[in-house]
A and B are shown apart, each in its own frame.
Chain A
Amino acid sequence: MIDTLFHMALVLAMPPLLLGVIGKTKAAFAGRTGAPFLQPYYDLGRLFRKGVVISDTTSWIFRAGPAVTLAATLFAALLVPLGKHPAPISFEGDMILFAYLFALGRFFTTIAALDTGSAFEGMGAAREVTFSCLAEPALFFALITLTRLSGSMSLTPMLQHLTFPVWVGAGASLLLMLAGLFVVLLAENCRIPFDDPNTHLELTMIHEVMVLDHSGPYLGCILYGAALKLYILGALFMNIAVPFSSGNSFLDWGIFACSMLALALAIGTVESVMARLRLTRVPQLLVAALILTAFSLVLVVR
Chain B
Amino acid sequence: MFFEMLREPSILVLAAIILAGFSGVPGLFLRHGALGQRLATSGALLASLLALPALVRLLLAGGEERYQLAWNLPFGACEVALDPLSLFFLIPIFLIFPAGSLYACGYWPAADRRASEPCVTFFYGLLCAAMALVVVARNGALFMIAWEMMALSGYFLLVAEHEDAEVRKAGTVYLIASHVGAAALLVLFSQLRVATGSFLFPGTGALQLEAASATLIFIAALVGFGSKAGIMPLHIWLPSAHANAPSHVSALLSGVMLKIGIYGILRTVSFFPERPLWWGGLLAAGGLLSALMGICIASAQKDIKRLLAYSSIENLGIITAGIGMALIGTSSANPRLFYLGLAGALFHVLNHSLFKPLLFFGAGSVMHATGSRELDKMGGLAARMPWSAALSLCGAIAICGLPPFNGFASEFLLYLGFFGEARAPEPYLALGAPVLALTGGVALICFVKLFGITFLGAPRTARAAQVHEAPATMLAPMALLAGLSLAGGLFPQLFLALVDPVISVLAPLSPGRSGLPVRPVWFTLAGGFLLALAAALFWFLRRRQSLLPAATASTWGCGYLRPTPRMQYTGSSFGELFGSLAAPLIRTRTAMGSVAGLTPGPARLSYAPEETVLHRVIQPVFGLVGIAFSFLRRLQHGEVQIYILYIFVTLFLLMLWVH
Contact = CB atoms under 8 A, between A and B. Distances in A.
The main secondary structure of chain B at its interface with chain A is helix
- State which size class the interface on A falls in: 35 or more
Contacts of B382: 59, 61, 115
A236 to B, nearest CB: 16
Contact of A118 (B418, B452, B552, B563): B563
B554 interface: yes
Contacts of B541: 63, 66-67, 217-218, 221
Interface residues of B, number: 81
B300 interface: no
Contacts of B471: none
A119 B401 CA distance: 28
A64 B569 CA distance: 21
B615 interface: no
A9 interface: no
A216 interface: yes
Contacts of B433: 140, 143-144
B551 A51 contact: yes
A122 B568 contact: yes
A71 B552 contact: no
A139 interface: yes
A91 interface: yes
Given A56-B553, A117-B458, A119-B569, A74 B533 contact: yes
A107 B456 contact: no
Contacts of A151: 423
A134 interface: yes
Contact of B555 (A66, A213, A218): A213
Interface in A108-163: 110-111, 114-123, 125-127, 129-130, 132-134, 136-141, 143-145, 147-148, 151, 153
A114 B403 CA distance: 21
A127 B569 contact: no
Interface stretch (B360-368, B516-524, B647-655): B516-524
B563 A67 contact: no
Nearest to B383: A59
Contacts of B456: 59, 61, 111, 114-115, 117
A212 B534 CA distance: 22
Given A51-B551, A118-B556, A125-B448, A93 B437 contact: no
B314 to A, nearest CB: 13
Interface stretch (B97-105, B117-125, B160-168, B573-581): B573-581
Interface stretch (A94-102, A186-194, A243-251, A268-276): A94-102
Contacts of A50: 548
A120 B558 CA distance: 8
A73 to B, nearest CB: 10
B402 A57 contact: no
Contacts of A117: 379-380, 456-458, 555, 565, 568
B423 A57 contact: no
Nearest to A54: B552
A49 interface: yes
Nearest to A283: B581
Contacts of B419: 93, 95-96, 143-144, 147, 153
Contacts of A66: 537, 541
A71 B538 CA distance: 9
A221 B541 CA distance: 9
B402 A100 contact: yes
A92 interface: yes
Contacts of B574: 122, 125-126
A286 B38 CA distance: 56
A301 B533 contact: no
Question: Which of A71, A110, A148 gathers the greatest number of chain B CB atoms within 10 Å?
Answer: A71
A52 interface: yes
Given A115-B457, A221-B541, A75 B434 contact: no
A24 interface: no
A107 B444 CA distance: 7
B555 A118 contact: yes
Interface of A: 48-59, 61, 63-64, 66-68, 70-72, 74-75, 89, 91-93, 95-97, 99-101, 103-104, 106-107, 110-111, 114-123, 125-127, 129-130, 132-134, 136-141, 143-145, 147-148, 151, 153, 201, 212-213, 216-218, 221, 283, 290, 294, 297, 301
6 contacts: A57-B554, A58-B555, A61-B456, A71-B536, A122-B569, A216-B545
What 6 A-B pairs have minimum CB-CB distances, sorted nearest first?
Answer: A122-B569, A133-B441, A114-B452, A117-B457, A51-B549, A71-B534
Interface of B: 379-380, 382-383, 386, 389, 393, 397, 400-403, 408, 412, 415-416, 418-420, 422-423, 427, 430, 433-435, 437-438, 440-442, 444-445, 447-448, 451-453, 456-458, 517-519, 522, 526, 529-530, 533-534, 536-538, 540-542, 544-545, 548-558, 563, 565, 567-569, 573-578, 581
Given A92-B517, A114-B569, A144-B427, 17 more contacts: A56-B554, A64-B534, A66-B541, A75-B529, A106-B444, A111-B452, A120-B558, A129-B441, A133-B578, A136-B437, A138-B434, A140-B437, A143-B433, A216-B544, A218-B541, A218-B545, A221-B537
